[in-house]
Amino acid sequence: MMNEIRPRVTLVGAGPGDPELITLKGILALNKADVVLYDALIDTSLLNHAPDKALRIYVGKRNGSKKNPQEETNRMCVYYAKKFGHVVRLKGGDPFVFGRGAEEMDYIQEFGIKVDVVPGISSTVAVPAAAGIPVTKRGVSESYWVITGTTSNGELSRDLLLASKSKATVVLLMGTRKLREIVRIYEEQGFTDKAIAIIERGTTREEKIVAGTIGNIEKKAHEDQVGAPAIIIIGDVVRESPKLKAIYEAVVFENKLN
């Protein structure tokens, strides 16, 4: 007699990129997976934590690609759960921070399928931290905003204008293609000396960091050919990074000469 299939889905946050930054609970969920549906930004070594017999299916999307639309991924979660049992939906960062995890959960639960969530270390704080940038620091920044650089309609979030008027640290995801617009918002308020860093593929071996000020970051980003996936951090906390200290000491020196 065949075992009864009990469909369930676990949304697992894989962390910011370094495979060692997934949580123990995330690994334990992978250990019990019948199917793993994984994203583009996942380090594929994480798939080794799933049983040998588990199906491993890529459902990633990159740079606005129309391949693997979200609706199809939602349907796949339900289909494979009903057919095989335990589906682990492996997502970069945290499932609920610009990861569409809530959309997937809502859809799956409509079919009466149990959904568990394993939070992940969000790249919004982990990537800056790994670069020595504290998103908050006493006497420097008492809060931080996390904003999408590209909304569902492809535009820069209007929240950035509000955030730029505050003293808070601003962390932008999916914003490299909107760098000109981001810079313009700060320039129009006279914040050309505001510190900014762009971190591509943070916490991985391919990590690239470009830092400067609002006034020169476009030139630096072009020269260093920084691209997606990347996180943009704006605020005085960027100057607190030991890795970037020399850059900002040079900026201060140059300003004195001028």
Domain residue ranges in the chain: 8-118, 123-257
CATH of 123-257, one of 3.40.190.10, 3.65.10.10, 3.30.365.10, 3.30.950.10: 3.30.950.10
Report the distance separating Cα 39 and Cα 60, nearest Å. Answer: 4
- What pLDDT shows up at residue 186? 97
- What pLDDT shows up at residue 13? 98
- What pLDDT shows up at residue 246? 80
- What pLDDT shows up at residue 4? 82
Report the distance separating Cα 46 and Cα 39, nearest Å. Answer: 11
Could you give the angle at which helices 101-109 and 70-84 cross, rounded to 10 degrees?
50
Catalytic (active site) residue 106: no
One of 94, 174, 178, 194 is an active-site residue; which one? 174
CATH superfamily of the domain spanning 8-118:
Tetrapyrrole methylase, N-terminal domain (3.40.1010.10)
Report the distance separating Cα 150 and Cα 69, nearest Å. Answer: 17
Residue 199 phi, psi dihedral angles, 5° rounding: -120, 110
Report the distance separating Cα 89 and Cα 235, nearest Å. Answer: 34
Residue 2: both structure tokens together: 């065949």
Catalytic (active site) residue 193: no
Is residue 80 classed as helix, strand or coil in its secondary structure?
A: helix
Q: Are 200 and 228 in contact (CB under 8 A)?
A: yes
pLDDT in tens, the chain (258 residues): 456 889 999 999 999 999 999 999 999 999 999 999 999 999 999 999 999 999 999 998 765 556 678 999 999 999 999 999 999 999 999 999 998 999 999 999 999 999 999 999 999 999 999 999 999 999 999 999 999 998 888 899 999 999 999 999 999 999 999 999 999 999 999 999 999 999 999 999 999 999 999 999 999 999 999 999 999 999 999 999 998 988 887 665 455 545
- What pLDDT shows up at residue 249? 76
Residue 188 phi, psi dihedral angles, 5° rounding: -65, -20
One of 39, 43, 178, 194 is an active-site residue; which one? 39
- What pLDDT shows up at residue 136? 97
Is residue 40 classed as helix, strand or coil in its secondary structure?
A: coil
Residue 110 phi, psi dihedral angles, 5° rounding: -60, -20
**Residue 36, H or E segment:** strand 35-38
Catalytic (active site) residue 2: no
Report the distance separating Cα 47 and Cα 228, nearest Å. Answer: 23
One of 25, 61, 137, 220 is an active-site residue; which one? 61
- What pLDDT shows up at residue 3? 67
- What pLDDT shows up at residue 1? 42
Give the sheet arrangement for strand 114-118, strand by strand: 55-58, 35-38, 86-91, 8-13, 114-118
